């Protein structure tokens, strides 16, 4: 099976599998659930149909992350911010090197 198709299927299965669990944790308003929600929301960047929508999503996500009052999240949010110009090239070519980074 093509790796990109498998990745999409695996991702959707993962999201559906954990949706109920995620929503129950989110309702508790814990710091960990807030951090998880922020992390998972960044994944939606790759699902945006255009570069403009990707940048809009990233801007909303970055604001949420940097105003979360969670110091590790604020610190971690600065990394993709430094590389947003490279991240947006995904919308030009629709490919990533993610499969190369697996251990």
pLDDT at 3: 45
CA within 13 Å, CB half, 95:
5
The position carrying tokens 């659930």 is 33
Q: What is the number of structural domains in the chain?
A: 1
Q: Which domain holds residue 47?
A: 3-100
Across the 103 residues of the chain, what is the mean pLDDT of every consecutive 10-residue run? 44 68 73 89 94 97 96 96 94 79 59
Residues 78 and 52: their CA atoms lie apart, in Å, by 20
Supply the pLDDT for residue 4: 45
Per DSSP, the residues of 69-99 read S-HHHHHHHHHHHHTHHHHTTHHHH---SGG
Judge if pTM exceeds 0.75: no
**Looking at residue 13, what is its pLDDT?**
63
Looking at residue 101, what is its pLDDT? 62
């Amino acid at each position: 099976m093509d790796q990109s198709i498998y990745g999409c299927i695996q991702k959707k299965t993962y999201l559906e599998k954990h949706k109920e669990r995620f929503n129950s944790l989110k309702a508790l308003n814990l710091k960990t659930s807030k951090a998880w929600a922020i992390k998972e929301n960044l994944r939606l960047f790759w699902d945006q149909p255009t570069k403009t929508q990707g940048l809009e999503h990233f801007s909303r996500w970055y604001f949420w992350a940097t105003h979360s009052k969670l110091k590790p999240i604020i610190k971690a949010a600065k990394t993709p911010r430094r590389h947003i110009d490279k991240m947006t090239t995904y919308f030009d070519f629709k490919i990533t090197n993610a499969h190369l980074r697996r251990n």
